[in-house]
């Protein structure tokens, strides 16, 4: 089997699973309980939090645990909007955000907030001047992702932050779900960014757990009311085994980040060398200065993405068309549409996304499969 769908989810690292099982067995208490078992569970919770802060070298920032990237995005977008509704009603998000951000913004529109959706340039990046032109006196929040989950386009967050330096009243949120563990943190962490959301299952942690980084001086309303957990900012008994396992997965991914980056570059080059030679293939994420090496987005012109996916699946290879949620609903990619890619590219979109467990020989096999596939599918071209 070749699994190249790591942007959808990564297989849990066995060492992480081991932590999950051990913490489940050895720390049965609820951190809110006053007795010894509760205190022991709280220790694991706080150690995990501290570990994440240390790995990311966070100063003056806090970590709040969530159920994953979608909750983190919803919590911050809705929470900030609700908390600041007396200061303004205008929100800016990019048009290429994950559905968790876009649909949270759409729900806010129904409540009377106004949302501006920023169009990317032809490479799928948001230009600083596009952001600058959209800012109004009543803008309260800007949300722009770090790395796009479909194309791998790295957003120029430092340049966008420079624009926002002039507007200290505007809250800046970054969905860094596809950046963490794959890109060095300098591309998604800087002093101007107030909030970031992350998801454990994108870096070989368990599914259904994530975290948000927040600035203690920036306020937001909780999404889940409850028993005062997470400083009163997110109700619900903390998922201690998943949180401890996620902290471990983060450490493992950081220990390995440089080797993985090198490997992804090599693997991506093998694929690009093959695709570039064949005019029937169209590559979106080619430029290595713009796109992360772990995501390669391309199309076999004239052949629908699903046809290729199912053909490869029969060979034991798993890639995807758009994001997992959009492909599931059979919708054309809003990201490629915003980039104004031609129709035939949108219909044929394919995404290969790499993870730490993949290796060079898998990419060589994959290229062979693509070569054979072209012979079989050429009737469609
Ligand atoms: C950029 C981005 N944000 C948010 C999410 C949602 O994360 P989760 O699956 O943990 O809810 C994803 C998942 O694909 C993503 O790629």
* pTM, full prediction: 0.97
d(CA 177, CA 69): 6
- The Cα-based distances of 194 to 10, 40, 51, 128, 172 in angstroms read 27, 31, 20, 18, 5
Over residues 20-74, the pLDDT tens digits come to 999 999 999 999 999 999 999 999 999 999 999 999 999 999 999 999 999 999 9
Q: Which of 221, 244, 225 has its CA nearest to residue 235?
A: 225
Ligand 1 atom 16 nearest Cα = 149
Over residues 280-299, the pLDDT tens digits come to 999 999 999 999 999 999 99
Report percent pLDDT > 70 for the chain.
97
Atom of ligand 1 nearest to the CA of 324: 14
Q: What is the DSSP letter of 379?
A: G
Over residues 93-131, the pLDDT tens digits come to 999 999 999 999 999 999 999 999 999 999 999 999 999
- Strand partners for 195: 173
200 lines ligand 1 (CB under 6 A): no
Pocket test for ligand 1, best of 199, 206, 223 (most atoms within 8 A of CB): 199
Q: Has residue 244 got a pLDDT over 80?
A: yes
Return the CATH number of the domain spanning residue range 2-9+257-380.
3.90.1150.10
Ligand 1 atom 9 nearest Cα = 69
Q: Identify the helix (H) or strand (E) that includes residue 300.
A: strand 295-300
Pocket test for ligand 1, best of 178, 179, 180 (most atoms within 8 A of CB): 178
Atom of ligand 1 nearest to the CA of 210: 10
Pocket test for ligand 1, best of 99, 100, 328 (most atoms within 8 A of CB): 100
For residue 374, the model assigns a pLDDT of 86
d(CA 149, CA 9): 11
Q: Which residues are catalytic?
A: 325
For residue 322, the model assigns a pLDDT of 75
d(CA 93, CA 68): 20
For residue 331, the model assigns a pLDDT of 81
Report percent pLDDT > 90 for the chain.
95
Cβ–Cβ under 8 Å, residues 353 and 177: no
Spans of all domains in the chain? 2-9+257-380, 14-255
d(CA 212, CA 219): 13
Cα-to-centroid distance, 70 and ligand 1 (Å): 6
Fold of domain 14-255 = 3.40.640
297 lines ligand 1 (CB under 6 A): no
Over residues 187-198, the pLDDT tens digits come to 999 999 999 999
- Confidence at 328, pLDDT banded by 50, 70, 90: low
For β-strands 281-283 and 195-199, DSSP reports them as: unpaired
Cα-to-centroid distance, 10 and ligand 1 (Å): 12
- Confidence at 377, pLDDT banded by 50, 70, 90: confident
- Confidence at 326, pLDDT banded by 50, 70, 90: low
Over residues 150-205, the pLDDT tens digits come to 999 999 999 999 999 999 999 999 999 999 999 999 999 999 999 999 999 999 99
178 lines ligand 1 (CB under 6 A): yes
Q: Has residue 325 got a pLDDT over 90?
A: no
User: Can you tell me the mean pLDDT for 341-361?
Assistant: 96
Strands, sheet with 195-199, edge to edge from the N-terminal-most edge strand:
62-66, 210-214, 195-199, 171-175, 139-143, 90-94, 114-118
């Amino acid at each position: 089997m070749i699994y190249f769908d790591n942007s959808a989810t990564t297989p849990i690292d066995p060492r992480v699973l081991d932590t999950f099982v051990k913490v489940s067995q050895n720390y049965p208490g609820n951190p809110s309980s006053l007795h010894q078992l509760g205190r022991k569970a709280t220790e694991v919770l706080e150690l995990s939090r501290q570990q994440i802060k240390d790995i990311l070298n966070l100063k003056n920032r806090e970590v709040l645990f969530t159920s994953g990237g979608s909750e983190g995005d919803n919590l911050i977008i809705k929470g900030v909007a609700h908390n600041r509704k007396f200061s303004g009603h205008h929100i800016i998000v990019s048009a290429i955000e994950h559905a968790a951000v876009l649909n949270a913004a759409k729900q806010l529109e129904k409540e009377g907030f106004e949302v501006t959706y920023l169009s990317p340039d032809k490479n799928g990046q948001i230009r600083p001047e596009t952001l600058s032109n959209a800012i109004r006196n009543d803008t309260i929040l800007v949300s722009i992702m770090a790395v796009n989950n479909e194309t791998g386009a790295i957003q120029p967050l430092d340049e966008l932050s420079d624009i926002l330096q002039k507007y200290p009243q505007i809250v800046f949120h970054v969905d860094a779900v596809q950046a963490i563990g794959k890109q060095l943190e300098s591309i998604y962490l800087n002093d101007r960014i107030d909030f970031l959301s992350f998801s454990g299952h994108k870096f070989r942690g368990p599914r259904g757990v994530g975290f948000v980084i927040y600035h203690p001086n920036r306020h937001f309303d909780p999404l889940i009311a409850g028993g005062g957990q997470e400083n009163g900012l997110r109700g619900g008994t903390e998922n201690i085994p998943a949180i401890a396992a996620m902290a471990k997965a983060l450490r493992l991914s950081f220990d390995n980040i440089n080797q993985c980056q090198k490997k992804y570059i090599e693997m991506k080059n093998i694929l690009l060398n093959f695709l570039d030679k064949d005019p029937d293939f169209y590559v979106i994420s080619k430029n290595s200065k713009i796109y992360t090496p772990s995501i390669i987005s391309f199309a076999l012109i004239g052949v629908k993405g699903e046809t290729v996916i199912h053909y490869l699946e029969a060979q034991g290879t798993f890639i995807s068309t758009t994001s997992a949620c959009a492909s599931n609903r059979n919708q054309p990619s809003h990201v490629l549409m915003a980039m104004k890619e031609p129709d035939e590219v949108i219909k044929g979109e394919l995404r290969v996304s790499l993870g730490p467990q993949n290796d060079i020989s898998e990419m060589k096999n994959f290229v062979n499969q693509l070569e054979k596939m072209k012979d079989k599918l050429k009737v469609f071209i």
